[in-house]
Every structure is written in structure tokens, then in C-alpha cells.
Structure 1
């Protein structure tokens, strides 16, 4: 069932009825909006709503989640960059809003460092290497050897920029000659993978979780050092390919110029929300890892991601559109 913005506002207006209202002139003085870059029902949208409930209780004001999909997150990021710098409008963003667009678009419409106030990083999101169970490989080491022995014969699907650069990293470190097929989204690529029309993918764990558990796909490796609860027996890819390390991530941003005391209050509210057992369980279920960073460290992390994406996009042959 589609939830309209009107319904969200009605729900938000009734949130935390027992929470104390903020005094006039203090923050927050009205509901806080979180703009997400995905449609309702996506993993990050679900995370935003669960975290938002906890943040609402801490701040004593409703949290309204608004879905602003479009241009891989740039639409939502542009809106937040232009919002008043009072802390009442936030962005649930990531690499697709604060690193990748610099190398995918000629006109991003904002500066990912200068136009935003970093609040906190929420998660680290490893990808997983998966193959159809019919492919005769049971480990990342076997897969690399199998692909090397069949140059130009294996194909993979990509449905977003993260999967694209992760696949390019796999090709580079493994010395693989494989054929990439671009899709409008990961769901379409996964359908072809399950049907045997592709040989492998590097994608978000939650996208392929049900197929792996049903025995239709096999998980061979995680793109970071973090093991995942949903694939407990799957090793990091670095065991087969030393130096392999890639992850997407989710963080909270406000417009540039949000007052330090407001930023800190938001940081502590989101930090407490991610520590909640229900949120921790959700992250485990969808293959994400909670992150714990200060505002300054998060800002430095964003700068590091921009630098890393310069190399990744160059290696992947991405050109701005």
C-alpha cells in the first residue's frame, strides 16, 4: 500500500504525545523532515522511519520522512542544500549523493562539502559477490580461477554506481576479463542472475538475501572486512583478492551553516537511535553495519570518499553525463 505524504504528516503529528514540547526559540521548534533518496519500502527508507521514531522521542518533536527519489539521490540532496540552516530539514544520503555525482554528472548543482553540515554517519554497507548455484564454484578463490580460465565468457549485471565500481575493482584486482551489463536497477539485474542469464553480481545483501537462503544463489564474498549476520559463513573478498575493500554507506546531513549546538543535539539523537536494539536488529537483517563517528570524523570521511571515487570512477571508465 502506498503511503502518501499527507498520511505521513498525519502520523507524524501524533508522534510522541507524551514528549515535552521544545520551548519557544529552542531547537527543534517544529517537526523535523528527513528526505530520503529512495522510494517507500526500500531498505534505507525503512531504516529512516525506524530511526526517525527513536529520534522523535529524544527531540520531543515529530520526525517526518519524505521520499525524494531521482537522479540517484541528487534531487533530494539539492533540496536539502537549499533548505534553511535551522536543523529542521535533513538528508539521509550516502556515496550516491556526496561522492559519485561528482564523477557521473556534469552539473551536480551543489558542493557535497561546502553546501552541507555533516551530522553523523549511520551505517557501512558492504556488498556481496553472488553467483547462481549452477555455477560450479563454492568460494571466491574458485570463482576467480574459474573466471580467469574463461576470458570474455562470464557476464555480470550492475544496477547502480556502487555495484559498477565494485565490479571494476574485482576485475582489476583479479585480472579478470568479464562482460558487464547495465540495468535500470538492481532488481532487474537480480532477476536475470537468478534466471541464469548472468554469471555473477556484486550487490546489496538485502537484494539477494532471500535467493541465497532459498538456495538459488550462492554468496561467495563480502566486499569489506565486516562479516555479515545474514551470511555468517561468507568470507571477505580480501581472502581471495588482497586489497579488496569497498562499501557504500548512509549518513545524515543538514544544509551548510547549521549551528554547532543544533548539530550536536541531532548527532546525539541519531547516535542513540542507532544503538537501539530494534534498529541494530534491522541493520543485521538487511546486511548493514552500524557506524559510530563524530561530526568531524564524518566530514573527513566524506572527503576521503570523494577522493576514493575519483579513482574508482576512473578505473570503471565512468564519464559525466
Structure 2
């Protein structure tokens, strides 16, 4: 076979592959949504709800896969190495995209260079919960108890949101407590209910059922305004810790180099789902606030969040591992 025939053969092969990468027929098969936290976590619950809504819109199933561990780094690294064809996406969070770069000396992925931002999903308020037999009924009593028992309290960390929220509280109040690391929030909640942990600041969606049944006691929520999911729980700010405000977030990312037309098609489908009454009702019950953005807006938001997380963790004295 001469060079001309070889070149023609390669060209034909590439032309046969090209349609699978184009936006015209995307998606022509199922799409993987890689979730960096365990089943039952807030990120997982949100991804599974949206996958059903968006799968119907795109005409292909969106399959959720959980790849938990290392504060989301395992999942993020896998997606960063995936083919940029729109069929492997990361349900990223403030952990994977903004905090980990300040928490780890070496990451197996680059949060900026390895990804294309598609859209934000939600803003995620958190709640301070304690084991029910801890002798405190509100934030003021909790802080007094912690100061009277320095270094004896412990708390669970299932993601960087939990870590940073507690570090912020410790930095503002001077209380001492020991962190216990978990691969995900549900496992930490199990130990908190069992009395092996004293408190957590974590996602409302995974704690609300236990708050309602009395297995956990909610003391304060992290935004400046009360949340719809826990309307009777005061904020940190109104409970005496003036200026305390913290909100986590989640969104969708594709490997770097993904066709902008494919990114735009995915963004449109998720934006439609997030703006639906069904999403408002479902996410509201989880304590989440829909917050879809354009790819450009989300890129800028993540960049600003990364700077904020660097300052937050530095002020909290959090060393890199």
C-alpha cells in the first residue's frame, strides 16, 4: 500500500470516528456521571435526581457512578483522563475544584487545566448538628461547653465543606476539637448517631431525617438567612456568631478539550431541569438552592471560589497533606 492509500485510509477512519465527537448526534449512547462521594451523600442524591430529568431531555440515560475517596480526588482524576467527547462527566464540588488544590501538596489532576466547566447545580447550606445526649441546646451553650472541655470534642469530616465550616467556627471562637476523616458524609453521620462523634457541620439533606426523628440535634445553619428545609433552626449569625457565613456548591464538569457545542447542549439540558418546578421542590426539601449558570459564568465563579478557599483554609491554619 503506497503513502497515498495509507493517507486515504487514515482519513476515512477519522471521518468515521468524527460523528461520535460532534454535537450533531450527541448523545448517541449513555453518559457517565462520575460522583466523587458515596451513595446517599448530598452530591449523589442531587446527581441521581438530575440524571433522570436530563436523561429524558437528551434521549439517552445518564448513569451515575460513585468513585469516593481522597476528598473527591479519585473521581476527578478519572474524569480528567477521560476522552473529551461528552460521555464522561464529573459532578464536581467545592472540594474537587476549589479546595483540594489548597489541601494536598500533590493532586493527580489539575482543577483548571484538566476540566471544562459546564454549569453550576446548586448552592448548599450546611447545618451544625450534635449527638442528642450532648448537654447543649443552642449554639451559645455548645461554644461554652467546647471552651470548658478544650480538646475533648471530636467531629466528622466527610468532605471539604464540613472541614472548612468547622475550621471557620474554630477560628472565630478559639474552641478546640479533633477532626475524624471519613470517605464520605453518610459514614460520619452513622458514627455521630452512634455517639462515636460529638458534632458535625454538614449537609442538610443527609441530616434532616435524623433531626426530625430526634436522633440528632440541630443548633445552627451556615447561611446568613434561614433555610427552607430547616425553617426553625437559627443561623450562626443570629445565634451570636456575627459574620459567620458558609455555603458549599456543586456543578458539572467535562474533560478539557470537549467540543463547546457539546458543552452548550449539556448546559441547556441541565439548566432546563434546574429551573423546573420539580427541581425547586425536590432540591428545596434537601436544603439545596438551584443555581444554574452559563459555562463562562461558572468558570469565573469557580476561579473566584478557589481564591476564597485558599484564604479560608490559610486563615484556619489548615496545612497541606
How far the C-alpha of 1:252 sits from its partner, in A, is: 0.4
Q: Is 1:30 matched with 2:32?
A: no
Is 1:255 matched up with 2:255? yes
CA distance in 1, matches of 2:64, 2:156: 31
Shift of 1:142: 3.8
Deviation at 1:233, TM superposition (A): 0.7
1:271 aligns with 2:251: no
- Structure 1 match to 2:178: 180
Deviations 1:133-173 (A, max 9, x none): 44444332343344445544544333333222211100111
Question: Would you say 1:75 and 2:70 are equivalent positions?
Answer: no
> Matched residue of 1:251: which SS?
strand
Q: Give the match for residue 306 of structure 2.
A: 306
Q: CA deviation at 1:281?
A: 2.8
Name the SS of the counterpart of 2:244 in structure 1: coil
Counterpart in the other structure of 1:235: 234
Match of 1:170 in 2: 169
For 2:81 and 2:181, the matched residues in 1 are separated by 31
Distance 1:153 1:50, change over 3 A: closer
SS of the equivalent of 2:210 reads helix
Matches within 5 A, 1:85-104: 85-104=84-103
Matches of 2:75 and 2:195, distance apart in 1: 36
Equivalent position of 2:14 in the other structure:
none
| Alignment match, 1:112 | 111
Q: Is the 8 A contact 2:41 2:186 kept in 1?
A: no
Contact 1:28/1:61 (<8 A) preserved: no
Whether the 8 Å CA contact 1:47–1:279 is kept in 2: the answer is no
What is the distance in 1 between the residues matched to 2:300 and 2:186? 33
After superposition, the C-alpha distances for 1:209-248 in whole angstroms (9 at most, x for unaligned) are 2221112322111111353333111122122222212222
State the partner residue of 1:7.
none
Structure 2 spans left out of the alignment, 5+ residues = 1-19
**In 1, are the aligned partners of 2:154 and 2:180 still within 8 Å (CA)?**
no
Aligned length: 298
Give the distance between the partners of 1:302 and 1:187, measured in 2 at CA: 26
Q: C-alpha deviations, 1:158-211, integer Å up to 9, x for none?
A: 3333222211100111232x2213142444543443344544321222332222
Distance 1:305 1:25 in 2: 30
Asked whether the 8 Å contact 2:222–2:244 carries over to 1, the reply is yes
Residue 286 in structure 1 maps to residue 299 in structure 2: no
TM-score, normalised via structure 2 length:
0.82
Q: Contact 1:126 / 1:226 at 8 angstroms: preserved in 2?
A: no
The equivalent of 2:160 in structure 1 is 161
8 Å contact 1:27–1:262 — kept in the other structure?
Answer: no
Q: Secondary structure at the match of 1:106?
A: coil
